[in-house]
Amino acid sequence: MFGIAQWIALVGIITFGVLFVIELLKWREPGGVMSRRHKALRVGLMALLEALLVMVFLAPLFSNPKNMLGEMIYWSVCLMLGLAVVALAMFDVREVTKELPALSRQVFHDVFDDERRDGK
């Protein structure tokens, strides 16, 4: 009934859904360092990735060898979603590299503040 691509897509849908819920729960904890823009970027990235995996999972329902134009449009949309996921992932990496120096300074100051308190 299902091909290997549908099984991989199903496992991906479940895995990324669970990881996304875990990440959302971590955002609620105090002391988060992610900016509002970075969080929105992550939500968009996960939504596009889930949509892409759902489209791959549902591909057998919409594929019709007799309608080549419809199939080409369907897979073109999947390709565009995949490229959008790659672009958003690159923006996510850029956001992480922007936030890294501030986080490193914060950790550095926290370590030295702890050493000063312990040394006195």
Any idea where the domains of the chain sit in the sequence? 4-119
Residues 102, 39, 83: CA angle, nearest 5 degrees: 110
pTM of the model: 0.74
Of the candidates 105, 77, 73, the residue with the CA atom closest to the CA atom of residue 113: 105
Whole-number pLDDT of residue 70: 87
How far lies 18's CA from each of 23, 39, 43, 100, 116, in Å?
Answer: 9, 17, 13, 26, 41
pLDDT tens across 47-57, in order? 999 999 999 88
Of the candidates 18, 95, 72, the residue with the CA atom closest to the CA atom of residue 50: 18
Give the residue-averaged pLDDT of 70-84. Answer: 93
Angle in degrees, 0-180, between the axes of helices 36-57 and 68-119, rounded to the nearest 10: 140
Q: Is the pLDDT of residue 119 over 70?
A: no
Whole-number pLDDT of residue 38: 84
Whole-number pLDDT of residue 77: 94
Confidence grade of residue 98 (pLDDT, cut at 50, 70, 90): confident
pLDDT tens across 15-29, in order? 999 998 888 888 877
